[in-house]
């Protein structure tokens, strides 16, 4: 009996991040862990403590670290690492785990909403703010 590796099944995604205004980067709470902070520290040649202070803040209860935001020209605020002109991550190779895993399904709810609104309005450039 032949024992070969099974043929990989391709995963089909039903979203296109290049058509999105970076909605996921505007979530008010983008949680980061120690490993994420260490990755950002290496990326910017900082110590862990410097990266934690510069790029994160505690949540309301002070137990979880969140990425800092800054004012955004489309949404109220966005992740400090979002390039607001290109709407892309400036630290993509060093981005936190939660960003690497997003979306955690084959569909992105915001992309579906955006696509629907653009079709309804007949405007491919529309940025639906929900």
pLDDT in tens, 73-126: 888 899 999 999 999 999 999 999 999 988 777 777 777 787 888 888 888 877
- End-to-end C-alpha distance for the chain, whole angstroms: 56
Q: What Rg, from alpha-carbon coordinates, does the chain have? A: 18
pLDDT band at 5 (very low <50, low <70, confident <90, very high): low
Residue 7 has pLDDT above 70, yes or no: no
For the chain, domain boundaries: 28-104
More confident residue, 51 or 6: 51
pLDDT digits (tens, 9 = 90+) for 16-66: 677 778 888 988 889 999 999 999 999 999 999 999 999 999 998 989 999
Q: Is it the case that residue 4 has pLDDT exceeding 80?
A: no
> Which pairing describes strands 69-71 and 65-67: parallel, antiparallel, or unpaired?
unpaired
On the CB side of 119, CA atoms within 13 Å amount to 6
Q: Would you state the pLDDT for residue 102?
A: 81
Which whole-number Å values give the CA distances from 44 to 50, 83, 100, 117, in the listed order?
10, 16, 19, 39
**Enclosing H/E stretch for 3:** none
Bridge partners, 58 (sequence order): 65
């Amino acid at each position: 009996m032949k024992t070969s590796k099974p043929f990989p099944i391709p995963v089909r995604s039903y979203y296109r991040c290049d058509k999105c205004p970076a909605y996921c980067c505007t979530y008010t709470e983008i949680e980061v862990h120690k490993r994420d902070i260490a990755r950002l520290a290496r990326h910017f040649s900082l110590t862990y403590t410097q990266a934690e202070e510069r790029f994160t803040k505690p949540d309301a209860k002070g137990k979880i670290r969140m990425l800092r935001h800054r004012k955004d020209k489309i949404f109220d605020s966005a992740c400090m690492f979002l390039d607001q002109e290109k709407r892309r991550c400036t630290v993509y190779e060093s981005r936190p785990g939660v960003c690497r895993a997003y979306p955690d399904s084959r569909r992105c709810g915001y992309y579906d909403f955006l696509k629907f609104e653009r079709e309804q309005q007949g405007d491919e450039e529309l940025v639906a703010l929900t």
